Amino acid sequence: MTGKEKPCCAAEALRRIRQVDVGGIRVGLAMLDDIIDEVQGLRLTAKDSIAEELLKRVKVYNYVPKAAEAAYRSALLREYEKKVKS
């Protein structure tokens, strides 16, 4: 991770949870801020590529139901864009 250490265990990852609205449901996502920082460092420009990379990395630490992947992609891209603008 860029300047940040990966969590040593699941318990540490759980301490790094942020709540996000995914399709009208609030879900807690572990490691989201670190993931966004990592993807920003890739300097991707296409929104589809950014959303796909975010989803791929979020799935490492979080369960994402197959049926909800599109909603997660949208939510993750929205959170990414908010952080980039701030």
Q: Count the domains in the chain.
A: 1
Q: What are phi and psi of 38, to 5 degrees?
A: -60, -45
pLDDT at 70 over 90: yes
Structure pTM? 0.85
More confident residue, 3 or 68: 68
What's at 44, amino acid-wise? L
- Is the residue at 20 inside a domain? yes
| Helical spans, DSSP H, in the chain | 10-14, 32-41, 47-61, 69-85
**pLDDT (0 to 100) of residue 68:** 98
- Domain region containing 67: 10-85
- Is the residue at 66 inside a domain? yes
Q: Which two tokens stand for residue 66?
A: 């197959």
